[in-house]
Amino acid sequence: MRIGLYPGTFDPLTLGHLDIILRACSLVDKLVIGVAINRDKGPLFSLEERVAMIEAECADLSAQTGCEIVAHPFENLLIHCAKDVGATIIIRGLRAVADFEYEYQMVGMNRQLDNTVETVFLMAEAQHQAIASKLVKEIARLDGDVSKFVTPAVNKALAARFQT
């Protein structure tokens, strides 16, 4: 069984993330969505809320693709998380050239830590390349329309979080 790991904070889960998840499912039999516990970022949504969003939004994708999709919180090194879940592939989404520089460094470090785990980069579809969770939160906070960037359920969760 080929297992992939797609890590991120997913705060919140966007259509760009879902695009990468859908496309990653064609590469693996099981996709673990590694939900990073990054206390330094001060997430808008709790870990439990982010995991619940992923589970809810990915249920149909799993049925549609036949790929098992599971959410897995982690706080350790990415390469250790990959080993913990049995992943031999790390999936990373790229939006722009600026993402590549950081990702390139990350791959180099991960290869030094464990050269048996490969990293695969997937470009987001053109309509999703500008979507960033940080910007989605800012737009929602300022009462802007984020419905083009997130699912209806995530949109509702954002609206509830920023109600005044």
For the annotated catalytic residues, the residue numbers are: 17, 41, 95, 133
CA 109 – CA 80 distance, rounded (Å): 13
Q: Report helix, strand or coil for 43.
A: coil
- Does 41 count as an annotated binding residue? yes
64 marked among binding-site residues: no
Which residues neighbour 8 within 8 Å (Cβ) at sequence distance 6 or greater?
A: 17, 33, 34, 35, 36
Is 129 annotated in a binding site? The answer is: yes
Say whether 9 counts as a known binding-site residue. yes
Say if residues 13 and 154 touch (Cβ distance below 8 Å): yes
Is residue 94 part of an annotated ligand binding site? Answer: yes
The answer to whether 17 is annotated as binding is: yes
- The identity of residue 32, as a single letter, is V
Which residues define the annotated binding site for substrate? 9, 41, 78, 92
Q: Which residues are annotated as a binding site for ATP?
A: 9-10, 17, 93-95, 103, 128-134
Annotated binding site: 9-10, 17, 41, 78, 92-95, 103, 128-134
